Amino acid sequence: MVQFYSPNRRSVNRGIISVTADNLDAQGQGIARHQGKTIFIQGLLPGEQAQIQLTEEKRQFAKAKVVKRLSDSQHRVDPHCPHFKVCGGCQQQHVATELQVNTKASVLEHLIQRETGIGISAHPIIHSPEYGYRRRARLGLQYHAKQRTLLMGFRQSQTNDLVNIKHCPVMHSELEQLLQPLHQCLNSLNAVKRLGHVELVLADNGPLAVLRHLDSLKHEDKEILRTFSVQHNVAIYLLGDEKSLEPLMEGQPAPWYQVGGLKLIFSPQDFIQVNDEVNQQMVAQALAWLDLQPTDRVLDLFCGMGNFTLPIATKVQAAVGVEGVAALVASGQYNARINELNNVDFFHENLESDIHQQPWAAQGFNKVLLDPARAGAAGVMTHIVKLAPEKVVYVSCNPTTLARDSKVLLEAGYHLVSVRMLDMFPHTGHLESMALFSSEPMDIE
C-alpha cells in the first residue's frame, strides 16, 4: 500500500504525565508547561495538579484531558447545572466567578498590549448575574426514532448530538420554567418528527416562543399549541421557512424591551442582546464615555435596531445608524417614530463594501460608536479617521479584532483612554469588551 508523507501529521504521546496548571485561558482551559511545551487542559484550574493524557499535539502547544485530578483549587465550585459535563453551552460553571472574569480581563489586556504596545486595565468589569441572565435561547429539536421521543436541547461539546435539556440555570427563570412543559407539548404534536428548532425569548412584556416547523401544521397541532400558549401565557410564533414568521393567534402583543428610558418594539427574529442587565450597563457606559451634548452629531455603525442609536438620539442634535440587515433598520425606524425621535436616521448599507459612496458617509459627525460582529470593522476604520471625531467608542465581541482595529485609530493619533470587560456570557468562553478613544489626551480611567 502506498503511503504519503504529511508534514502536518504528528504522533500524539498517549502516555500519562503529571503537571500543575499555572494559568487559565478565556475558554476555561487550564494552562500547564511540560518539557518546554504549553499544554491546554480542559477542566483543570490554576494551582491544581493532575495526571493528564495528550489528545492533540502541535509543534508549539498540545491539548490534553485529565485522567486523575490530584488536588483542588480554592476557585473550584460545584456547577449548578446537571447537564454541565455533557452540554456544550457552558464551559466554566466549575470556575468561581471572580476567576472567570479576572481571567477574561487579563486576556483582553494582554491582546491589547501585544497588538498596540499599550498597557491598560480592563477594570472595573461590567458584571452580570451569575445565573438566570439569558433572555434568549435557541434549542434544537430532534426526533429519536428508537426511543420514540423528541429531544430538545443544546449540542454536546464538539458534536452534533443534542443533550435533552430539562434544566438550564443560565436561562432566565421564566424561560427555564417553560422547558419541561414545552417539551411535553411539542412531543405530543403529530408533526413531532418534522420540527427544526424552538427559540425562547423573554421580552419585557412576557415570554415568547418561535417554532420552526418543516411541514405545514395541521389544525389539531395548532390547537395543542394554542392551549399551551394560554396556559403558560406564552406568545407563540410559527416559522414555516426562514421568511414566513406568523403569530399563532391574532392579537398577540408585539414584544418589547426598555433601554435608556425608551421602549423598543422588536420582531421575534430581530437580534437583541441576550443579557439585559449587562446591556443596560453597557449602553449607559457608552453614553457616558461619549459625553453627549445637545450640539453633537453622532454616528452609530453596525447599529442593529438602534440599541445605542435611539438612546443617543435623546441627548444630541442628530444621530445616524447604519446597519446591513434590512429588517433591523426597519425596526429602528419604527422605534424612532413611536418614541417621537425626529433627529435620527437609519441607513441600510453593507459596511463591508466600499462605504465612501454610501449616503451617510458624506455627512459630518463629531462622535462615533461602532458595534461590529466578530470579524471586526476593518472596512470602516479609515473612514472613521477621515471623519475626525472627538471620541470613538468601540463595542466588541472579539478582542482580537478590537486590538487589530485599534491600531488604525492609534496610528492616526487617537489615544486609548479606557477599556472595559463586559461579563455578557458568564460560564462561557465568550469575551465582550468596549473601548474609548479620544482625539485629545485624557486621563486614563
> Which residues are known to be catalytic?
397
* 445 marked as part of a ligand binding site: no
Whether residue 146 contacts residue 445, with contact meaning beta carbons closer than 8 Å, is answered with: no
CB atoms within 10 A of CB 225: 22
* 343 marked as part of a ligand binding site: no
The values of phi and psi at residue 354, to 5°, are: -70, 110
* Cα three-residue angle 91-122-397, rounded to 5 degrees: 50
Whether residue 201 contacts residue 135, with contact meaning beta carbons closer than 8 Å, is answered with: yes
* 273 marked as part of a ligand binding site: yes
* 102 marked as part of a ligand binding site: no
CA dist list (Å): 280 to 42, 252, 258, 349: 33, 26, 9, 27
* 90 marked as part of a ligand binding site: yes
* 303 marked as part of a ligand binding site: no
Hey, what's the cell of 151?
429531544
Q: Give the separation between CA 388 and CA 391, rounded to whole angstroms.
A: 9
Question: Cβ-count burial of 135 within 10 angstroms (0-12 exposed, 13-18 middle, 19+ buried)?
Answer: buried
Q: Determine the residue type at 280.
A: Q
**Most distant pair of Cα atoms in the chain: their distance:** 77
Tally the C-alpha atoms within 13 A of residue 432's C-alpha that lie toward its C-beta.
Answer: 22
Per the omega criterion (within 30 degrees of 0), is the bond before 124 cis?
A: yes
Strand, coil or helix: 168: coil
Helix, strand, coil percentages for the chain (3-state, nearest 5) = 25, 30, 45
Strand ranges, E, within 324-390: 344-348, 367-370
Q: Give the separation between CA 293 and CA 67, rounded to whole angstroms.
A: 59
* 308 marked as part of a ligand binding site: no
Q: Which residues have CB under 8 Å from 264's CB, separation 6+?
A: 256, 257, 258, 305, 306, 307, 310, 331, 335
* Cα three-residue angle 132-277-377, rounded to 5 degrees: 115
* 185 marked as part of a ligand binding site: no
Q: Which residues have CB under 8 Å from 347's CB, separation 6+?
A: 320, 321, 322, 323, 329, 358, 359, 360
Can you say which residues are annotated as belonging to the binding site for S-adenosyl-L-methionine? 273, 302, 307, 323, 350, 371
- Binding-site members for [4Fe-4S] cluster are 81, 87, 90, 168
Residues tagged in the binding site annotation: 81, 87, 90, 168, 273, 302, 307, 323, 350, 371
